[in-house]
Amino acid sequence: MAAEFDTAHVKNIVLLGHAGSGKTTLAECLLFEAGLISKRGTIAEGNTVGDYHDLEKERGNTIFSKLMHTRWRGYKINIIDTPGYDDFAGDVLSALRVSDTGIMLLNASMGVEVGTDVIWQYTERFKTPMIFAVNHLDNEKADFDATVKEAKQHFGNNITVVQYPLNQGEGFQSIIDVLRMTMYKFKDAGGKPEKLPIPDEEKSKADELHKLLVEAVAGNDETLMEKYFDKGELDEEDIKAGMKKAMINHDIFPLFCISAEHNMGGGRLMGFIDNVCPSANEMPPQISVKGEEIHCNPGGKVCAFIFKATSEPHVGDLSFLKVYSGTLKAGMELINETTGVAEKINQLFVVEGNKRIAVNELTAGDIGATLKLRNTHVNNTLHEKNTGYELKPIVFPLSNISIAISTLKKGEEEKLANALHQLREEDPTIEIEVSQELKQTIISCQGDMHLAVIKWKLEHQYKVDVVFSETKIPYRETIRTAAEAVYRHKKQSGGAGQFGEVHMRIEPWYEGMPDPEGLNVRGRDTHELPWGGKLVFYNCIVGGAIDQRFLPSILKGVMEKMQEGPLTGSYVRDIRVSVFDGRMHPVDSNDISFKIAGLMAFKNAFRLAAPQLLEPIQHVEVLCPENITGAVMGDLQTRRALVEGLTTEGNFTKIIARVPLAEMYDYASSLRSITQGRAKFKMNFHEYCPVPFEMQRKLSDAYSKVDKEEVVG
Ligand SMILES: Nc1nc2c(ncn2[C@@H]2O[C@H](COP(=O)(O)OP(=O)(O)OP(=O)(O)O)[C@@H](O)[C@H]2O)c(=O)[nH]1
Ligand SMILES: [Mg+2]
């Protein structure tokens, strides 16, 4: 069974759009129109090819991108349905990486939504040729003109109307096509429309839009422009060729009309895909990491890119790949450029939702899957020996939320660790950290929907019940003034005793500070602390009051306390310690005595030195529709936010603020509920700042209770 389609007849399409814009429903239409399925499934019935996962059926949303393929008039059209929720942006990015045309769905009753905008930014990274499809035209609130106007405001005037609806809203059934200059009239059940002449009353509008379309095509190509000037028109073949070129260059984004629910417009869209949209070999070559051009040539050396991995009970463990060059045959041995490991590709599949069909080969430009490769991961390149190709990786988004995770039952910790490792393997937008500092396993991901999916997978797929809890805040402790303390550690119990006395001054450390006043400096060491900041340790002992050999023990004691600060048990930073006096005992002094004396002197001096708790402050950016900016700002103000900037981006406002991490715990879900999912935010660590006095008191009171209990216990 050889590949049935040559490179020129393979097209890779990705369906994009805000949640609910109708991508999965449209995919169903496309598969139905191509005869791949005999009945269209619906989201309500939970029987679509795309949303087959139990969790997707339960929620009515796509969560994982799905690869499907159709055959249409001699073409193989790979379609990737993607999730609209930004929590699953990783899958959108990986699908975009391997697609040659995107179809961005707009909901005619909603216009441009926040997801549309966010996804658009991703498409710009890849310069994917884009089609717009205005969906939900049967909705009583559908407003085609307003949707197009908004789309142009957001994405520019390269949006070019190819179709407009005749009677949008309830009873919608006619589309006027200004490329073909015809009217499509659908039956109630949709499907194949009747082709009718454009009604007289629509003629001038259709002519005007046709002219704009032709001018847009001609405007991007000199030869076509000349032809247009000569004849005052372009024929359909010229328009198609010009349009393809303009789409590749991002000069034209053709706009179509559909009602996916009623199966209207999908067939014409497929026709446009095979007629006009570029095949993989018509796209610019891939530029490798080293700068080589990799052409989509079936006769070239094999170069394939892993863009996705899944592990699902009924579908199996699969690595999804796109062949960028050469013809990949089952049984071939390839080299993983990233790991250097040789991988044998035993089996190859084309995929249809949750079905996989074995094939012998995949030609350049095609997308398929293989059984999950042990040493090959998402973003790795596989190539034939001696080529050394490495394709550019997908840059996945950083996480938005973090939460501590633990097992419900004791003893399942290892099971959880393994499951998390597996999850991370499939989903590079998850981060896992075992924090020594906070003594928590912390999972960071894209948002609360993403988190719910992770929990579901852990419980249903990996059979480990988990609980989430608030991530502890990585506070830091420091001091505001200098202080001195003396501590004598003395223990006499039968045999050998313990004795060590340390006199210590501590001061807030800052860059370029002069040597300690009034002390006789004999030596100094600067220690960069692994948790940030410094400890500068001065030896100012005079007259041999303490032996040199005990200094490391004193430092050890100080360090120990700095790892569990006196105020709240957090890491201590930016302190200068000067040991300037002490006493020894000729027999009882030893390392342990001086370690304890150093630790206690430090602890006591710290308490006298106006201790200051520091908290992490995040840089936060929120993108929200203009009309709800007030609500978002109000909520930020309850979180001790310092708003630093407000800018307008189209119909959206971007709020830039500094917010303490301690106030951001539930922000993702709170923002979602305030804005009904229409806003997006990102944050990253900015700096450490002092905690307000009252909060510091509460935190240190709470700690002193625990600290005491620990001592007693
Ligand atoms: N009336 C009407 N409903 C539609 C249309 N297209 C989709 N729907 C409905 O809108 C809802 C969302 O459709 P989906 O196909 O799941 O949307 P999606 O873009 O895949 O959404 P996500 O997977 O969440 O990103 C479903 O209930 C569909 O039945 C349409 O053209 N008209
Ligand atoms: Mg969907």
CATH number of 286-383: 2.40.30.10
Beta carbons within 8 Å of 561's beta carbon, 6+ residues apart: 572, 599, 602, 603, 606
Residue type, 502: V
Query: Could you tell me if the CB of 65 is within 6 A of ligand 1?
Result: no
Specify whether the CB–CB gap between 559 and 535 falls below 8 A: yes
- Is 265's pLDDT higher than 90? yes
Poorest-confidence range of 20-24, 115-119, 253-257? Answer: 115-119
Which residues are close to ligand 2, an ion, with C-beta < 5 A? 23-24, 62
Specify whether the CB–CB gap between 500 and 540 falls below 8 A: no
pLDDT in tens, 575-589: 999 999 999 998 888
> Nearest to residue 426, comparing CAs of 65, 56, 23, 8?
65
H or E stretch including 689? strand 680-690
Residue among 259, 261, 263 whose CB has most ligand 1 atoms within 8 A, to mutate: 261
- Distance between Cα 136 and ligand 1 center (Å): 8
The full set of domain ranges for the chain reads 7-282, 286-383, 401-469, 477-609, 613-694
> Nearest to residue 266, comparing CAs of 103, 116, 129, 142?
103
Ligand number nearest CA of 19 is 1
pLDDT of residue 708: 60
Residue type, 564: E
β-partners of residue 233 are none
- Distance between Cα 14 and ligand 1 center (Å): 16
Residue among 31, 43, 135 whose CB has most ligand 1 atoms within 8 A, to mutate: 43
Per-residue pLDDT, averaged over 3-25, amounts to: 91
pLDDT of residue 712: 31
- The span from the CA of 677 to the CA of 679, in Å, is 6
- The span from the CA of 400 to the CA of 406, in Å, is 20
Query: Could you tell me if the CB of 56 is within 6 A of ligand 1?
Result: no
Per-residue pLDDT, averaged over 362-382, amounts to: 94
**CB atoms near residue 104 (< 10 Å):** 27
Query: Could you tell me if the CB of 321 is within 6 A of ligand 1?
Result: no
Contacts of range 429-436, beta carbons closer than 8 Å, 24 or more positions apart: 429/89, 429/90, 429/396, 429/397, 429/399, 430/399, 430/454, 431/399, 435/474
pLDDT of residue 380: 96
Q: Do 477-609 and 401-469 fall under one CATH topology? A: no
- The span from the CA of 162 to the CA of 179, in Å, is 6
pLDDT of residue 104: 98
- Distance between Cα 21 and ligand 2 center (Å): 8
pLDDT of residue 170: 93
CA neighbours closer than 13 Å in the CB half-sphere of residue 535: 21
Per-residue pLDDT, averaged over 67-72, amounts to: 90
The fold adopted by the segment(s) 613-694 is: Alpha-Beta Plaits (3.30.70)
- The span from the CA of 61 to the CA of 254, in Å, is 27
**CB atoms near residue 634 (< 10 Å):** 10
| Tokens of residue 209, six digits | 């839009």
Query: Could you tell me if the CB of 84 is within 6 A of ligand 1?
Result: yes
CATH class of 7-282: alpha beta
Q: Which percentage of the chain shows pLDDT scores above 90? A: 78
Residue type, 429: T
- Is 17's pLDDT higher than 60? yes
Per-residue pLDDT, averaged over 148-170, amounts to: 96
Beta carbons within 8 Å of 305's beta carbon, 6+ residues apart: 97, 98, 321, 322, 324, 379, 380, 381, 382, 391
Q: What is the dihedral of CA 229, 233, 236, 237, to 10 degrees?
A: -20
- Is 709's pLDDT higher than 50? no
- Is 392's pLDDT higher than 60? yes
| Tokens of residue 445, six digits | 């991901």
β-partners of residue 346 are none
User: If you write DSSP's letter for every residue of 334-391 in order, what string do you get?
Assistant: EEETTT--EEE---EEEEETTEEEEESEE-TT-EEEEEPPTT--TT-EEE-TT----P
CATH number of 477-609: 3.30.230.10
pLDDT of residue 1: 40
Q: What is the CA radius of gyration of the chain?
A: 33
Query: Could you tell me if the CB of 24 is within 6 A of ligand 1?
Result: yes
pLDDT of residue 4: 64
- Distance between Cα 564 and ligand 2 center (Å): 49
Question: How many helices (DSSP H) and strands (DSSP E) are in the chain?
Answer: 16, 38
Mean residue pLDDT of the chain comes to 93
- Is 359's pLDDT higher than 80? yes
Residue among 25, 55, 59 whose CB has most ligand 1 atoms within 8 A, to mutate: 25
Q: Atom 7 in ligand 1: which residue has the minimum CA distance?
A: 22
Query: Could you tell me if the CB of 25 is within 6 A of ligand 1?
Result: yes
- Distance between Cα 92 and ligand 1 center (Å): 17
* Strand residues in 470-583 grouped as ranges (E): 476-479, 483-491, 498-508, 523-528, 534-539, 571-572, 575-583
pLDDT of residue 710: 41
- The span from the CA of 664 to the CA of 678, in Å, is 18
HEC string of 48-71 equals: CCCCCCHHHHHHCCCCCCEEEEEE
DSSP assigned state of 572: E
H or E stretch including 553? helix 551-563
- Is 635's pLDDT higher than 90? yes
β-partners of residue 350 are 357
Q: Which atom of ligand 1 is nearest to the CA of 25?
A: 15
- Distance between Cα 568 and ligand 2 center (Å): 47
pLDDT in tens, 481-538: 999 999 999 988 767 789 999 999 999 999 999 999 999 999 999 999 999 999 999 9
pLDDT of residue 401: 86
**Cα separation values, 560 from 311, 342, 535, 607, 614, Å:** 44, 47, 12, 16, 19
- The span from the CA of 195 to the CA of 186, in Å, is 9
Query: Could you tell me if the CB of 21 is within 6 A of ligand 1?
Result: yes
Query: Could you tell me if the CB of 61 is within 6 A of ligand 1?
Result: yes
- Is 711's pLDDT higher than 80? no
- Is 208's pLDDT higher than 90? yes
pLDDT of residue 303: 96
Q: Atom 4 in ligand 1: which residue has the minimum CA distance?
A: 261
According to DSSP, the β-strands at 293-294 and 476-479 are: unpaired
HEC string of 89-154 equals: HHHHHHHHHHCCEEEEEEECCCECCHHHHHHHHHHHHHCCCEEEEEECCCCCCCCHHHHHHHHHHH
- The span from the CA of 678 to the CA of 106, in Å, is 14
Confidence of residue 678 (pLDDT cuts 50, 70, 90): confident
Query: Could you tell me if the CB of 477 is within 6 A of ligand 1?
Result: no
Query: Could you tell me if the CB of 138 is within 6 A of ligand 1?
Result: yes
Beta carbons within 8 Å of 135's beta carbon, 6+ residues apart: 17, 21, 22, 26, 105, 106, 107, 108, 258, 259, 260
- Distance between Cα 483 and ligand 1 center (Å): 67
Per-residue pLDDT, averaged over 41-65, amounts to: 91
User: If you write DSSP's letter for every residue of 426-451 in order, what string do you get?
Assistant: H-TT-EEEEETTTTEEEEEES-HHHH
Q: Which atom of ligand 1 is nearest to the CA of 260?
A: 31
Contacts of range 55-62, beta carbons closer than 8 Å, 24 or more positions apart: 55/453, 55/456, 61/19, 61/20, 61/85, 62/23, 62/24, 62/88
Ligand number nearest CA of 142 is 1
- The span from the CA of 628 to the CA of 703, in Å, is 40
Query: Could you tell me if the CB of 103 is within 6 A of ligand 1?
Result: no
Q: Which atom of ligand 1 is nearest to the CA of 15?
A: 19
CATH number of 401-469: 3.30.70.870
- The span from the CA of 444 to the CA of 458, in Å, is 15
The reported pTM is 0.84
H or E stretch including 241? helix 236-248
Per-residue pLDDT, averaged over 547-566, amounts to: 96
Residue with tokens 């119990």: 493
Specify whether the CB–CB gap between 521 and 515 falls below 8 A: yes
pLDDT in tens, 422-464: 999 889 999 999 998 889 999 999 988 899 999 999 999 999 9
Per-residue pLDDT, averaged over 313-335, amounts to: 92
Per-residue pLDDT, averaged over 588-615, amounts to: 96
- Is 313's pLDDT higher than 80? no
> Nearest to residue 106, comparing CAs of 146, 63, 77, 78?
146
- The span from the CA of 230 to the CA of 238, in Å, is 14
CB burial of residue 141 (10 Å; 0-12, 13-18, 19+): exposed
- Distance between Cα 81 and ligand 2 center (Å): 7
Dihedral (CA of 393, 399, 404, 410) sign: negative
- The span from the CA of 707 to the CA of 541, in Å, is 32
**Cα separation values, 551 from 519, 529, 540, 589, 605, Å:** 17, 19, 11, 12, 18
